[in-house]
Amino acid sequence: MQSDLIIDAVLLIAVLEADLGSHRKIGRFRVLRPFGVAAGIIPLYLKAVTTHGNGLTLEIALGAAGIVLGLVATSLMTVYRSPRTGKPVSRVGAGYAALWTLVIGARAAFSYGSNHWFSSELGHWVVRNAVSANAITDALIFMAIAMMLTRAVAMASRAMHVSATGDGQYAHELQAV
């Protein structure tokens, strides 16, 4: 549980520090940092990844949920060309921060609850569904990493689009700045 909470805290701090506010430069470091965070988390915290049965299904399902949540988070991000530098920048606000906080908070609550609130029920579910505790932990990590990496890739894609097309569809954003 402690490793889950550490991952949750690192992820939330890294994402909000990088994204919260306006005119946040979208550069190589900002796009690649999540991959570095993932590269650090994976070898330290992933147990034996399940390669069959219900554990694999759970890992895939939560990985897919992470992708969807990453796309939702990115939809709350405005990417536009900076009027000062002409380079892609982003803006996010309270909705974006609330989504990340809600998702990470729910993961942390599940981790805490699995040891303190519903450990017996979870134990019965694990046995009934033939899912190891390691598969649950790994699935939660896959979800977090998938959300973070999807956000990075989608943000980079949108930044490349803004760079390639000029002001294009984001002209209205520049007028508001």
pTM, whole model, 2 decimals?
A: 0.84
DSSP state string for 113-144: HHHHTSHHHHHHHHHHHT--HHHHHHHHHHHH
177 within some domain: no
Q: What is the pLDDT of residues 5-64, one digit of tens each?
A: 787 888 888 889 989 988 899 999 999 999 998 998 888 877 678 888 899 999 999 999
Residue 1: its pLDDT value, please? 58
User: What secondary structure letter does DSSP report for 170?
Assistant: G
Number of structural domains in the chain = 1
Domain that holds residue 36: 2-172
What's the Cα-to-Cα distance from 155 to each of 7, 13, 16, 25, rounded to whole Å? 22, 18, 14, 11
122 within some domain: yes
- Three-state secondary-structure class, residue 92: strand
Q: What is the pLDDT of residues 104-152, one digit of tens each?
A: 999 889 988 988 899 999 999 999 999 988 899 889 889 989 999 999 9
CA distance 44 to 71: 26
154 within some domain: yes
Which helix (H) or strand (E) is 83 found in, with range?
none
135 within some domain: yes
